[in-house]
Amino acid sequence: MAHTRGTFFRAYALATQLTLQGHDVTLITTSASSRFGLHSRVSAGVTLVESPAILSSSVDLIHAFDSRPTVIIPALGLRKRTRASLVIDWADWWGRGGTIEERPSSGLVRSLVRRPETYFEESFRTRADATTVISRALRDRAVGLGVPRETISTLPSGSDIEWIRPLDRAEARRASRLPEQGPVIGYLGVALHRDQQLLATTVMELVNRRNDLRVLLIGRPGIQLPEHPRIIHTGFVQRDHLPYFLGACDVFLLPLVDSIANRGRWPSKINDYLAAGRPVVASAVGDIADLFQRGRIGVLAGSEVEGLVAACLDLLDNPGLAVEIGKNARTFAETELSWSRISAGFLEAYECALRRRARSA
pTM of the complete model: 0.89
243, part of any domain: yes
Euclidean distance between CA atoms 66 and 133, whole angstroms: 10
Do residues 147 and 240 share a domain? no
83, part of any domain: yes
Do residues 326 and 182 share a domain? yes
CA distances from 290 to 27, 293, 300, 302, 357 (A): 31, 5, 10, 14, 33
1, part of any domain: no
**What residues make up the domain containing 140?**
6-158+339-360
Do residues 192 and 141 share a domain? no
Decide: 249 and 184 in contact? Cβ < 8 Å: yes
Do residues 132 and 102 share a domain? yes
Taking the CB of residue 34, how many other CB atoms lie within 10 A of it?
12
Per-residue pLDDT of the chain (361 residues; tens, 9 = 90+): 455 557 888 988 999 999 999 998 888 886 655 555 567 788 888 888 876 555 556 789 999 999 999 899 999 999 999 999 999 999 999 888 887 777 666 577 777 778 888 999 999 999 999 999 999 999 999 999 999 999 999 999 999 999 999 999 999 999 999 999 999 999 999 999 889 999 999 999 999 999 999 999 999 988 989 999 999 999 999 999 999 999 999 999 999 999 999 999 999 999 999 999 999 999 999 999 999 999 999 999 999 999 999 999 999 999 999 999 999 999 999 999 999 999 999 999 999 999 998 887 6
163, part of any domain: no
CA 208 to chain centre: 31
CB neighbour list of residue 286: distance below 8 Å, 6 or more residues apart = 135, 136, 137, 256, 262, 263, 264, 265, 266
Decide: 264 and 100 in contact? Cβ < 8 Å: no
Do residues 154 and 175 share a domain? no
Q: How many distinct structural domains can be found in the chain?
A: 2
Instruction: Give the residue from 287, 273, 281, 329 showing the smallest Cα distance to 303.
Output: 281
Do residues 144 and 69 share a domain? yes
CATH number for the domain that contains residue 34: 3.40.50.2000
Do residues 219 and 269 share a domain? yes
CA 91 to chain centre: 8
Q: What per-residue confidence (pLDDT) applies to 361?
A: 67
Decide: 303 and 258 in contact? Cβ < 8 Å: yes
Q: What per-residue confidence (pLDDT) applies to 197?
A: 95
Do residues 28 and 142 share a domain? yes
Q: What per-residue confidence (pLDDT) applies to 189?
A: 95
106, part of any domain: yes
Beta bridge partners of 42: 47
Euclidean distance between CA atoms 273 and 166, whole angstroms: 10
Do residues 125 and 184 share a domain? no
Do residues 56 and 183 share a domain? no
Do residues 25 and 81 share a domain? yes
Instruction: Give the residue from 129, 123, 157 showing the smallest Cα distance to 275.
Output: 157
216, part of any domain: yes
Decide: 192 and 261 in contact? Cβ < 8 Å: yes
Do residues 351 and 294 share a domain? no
Q: Which amino acid is at 235?
A: G
164, part of any domain: no
Q: What per-residue confidence (pLDDT) applies to 156?
A: 96
328, part of any domain: yes
